[in-house]
């Protein structure tokens, strides 16, 4: 994927999240399914099946359902064509979206807590980029 496309996606995501923020939900009530559809489904598809050869399937993936550190790290830091979400999503957002992903489409992974995300975010603290969204 071209870098401009990723930047455009990140802008679209930021806009979607800003709009979602207007509906001011308390952090504890983040809707993981809705966040998935807004932030992840464009690549991993609404049914989690991905696009073979481009975007890996999240449905029935061992990586997704296994040690929560792995998917948390991937969402925080990205890799290859997968954008980093550390500046766009809060600990509660990442916990909610991964809790959804780990339990949807026949997956059976344990829920992810904001505290688990917080620990991993703290481990690899890079100089924060000017965030698209002011947190
Ligand atoms: C712009 C497209 C794109 C978006 C948006 C995106 N991903 Fe990804 N994702 C990828 C790509 C590409 C990979 C494979 C990266 C690699 O390993 O090189 C990936 C890999 C992953 C993996 C690892 C899967 C495995 O088995 O290796 C997880 C988990 C994941 N993404 C979750 C998410 C979640 C959750 C979101 C939303 C918060 C998201 N992704 C948004 C493109 C995307």
Q: What DSSP string describes 56-72?
A: ---TT-HHHHS-THHHH
From the CA of 75, how far away is ligand 1's center (Å)? 7
Give yes or no for a contact between 110 and 68, defined as CB atoms under 8 angstroms apart: yes
CB count within 10 Å of CB 4 equals 8
Q: Rounded CA gap, 99 and 72, in Å?
A: 10
Domain boundaries, the chain: 3-123
CA of 82 to the centre of ligand 1 (A): 5
Question: pLDDT 10s per residue in the chain (135 long)?
Answer: 676 776 666 666 565 555 555 555 444 578 999 999 999 999 999 999 999 999 999 999 999 999 999 999 999 999 999 999 999 999 999 999 999 999 999 999 999 999 999 999 988 555 555 555 555
Cα(65) to ligand 1 centroid in Å equals 14
Q: What is the CA radius of gyration of the chain?
A: 14
Q: Which atom of ligand 1 is nearest to the CA of 9?
A: 1
Pocket flag, ligand 1, residue 79 (CB < 6 Å): yes
Ligand 1 in reach of 131 Cβ (< 6 A): no
Architecture field, domain 3-123: Orthogonal Bundle (1.10)
């Amino acid at each position: 994927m071209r870098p401009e496309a990723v930047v455009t996606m990140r802008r679209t995501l930021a806009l979607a999240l800003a709009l979602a923020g207007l509906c001011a939900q308390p952090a504890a009530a983040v809707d993981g399914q809705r966040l998935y559809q807004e932030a992840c489904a464009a690549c991993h598809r609404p049914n989690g099946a991905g696009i073979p050869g481009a975007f890996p399937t999240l449905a029935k993936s061992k990586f997704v359902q296994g040690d929560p550190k792995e998917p948390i790290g991937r969402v925080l830091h990205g890799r290859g064509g997968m954008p980093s979400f550390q500046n766009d999503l809060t600990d509660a957002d990442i916990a909610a979206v991964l809790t959804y992903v780990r339990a949807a489409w026949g997956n059976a992974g344990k829920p992810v807590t904001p505290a688990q995300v917080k620990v991993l975010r703290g481990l690899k603290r890079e100089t924060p980029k000017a965030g698209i969204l002011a947190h």
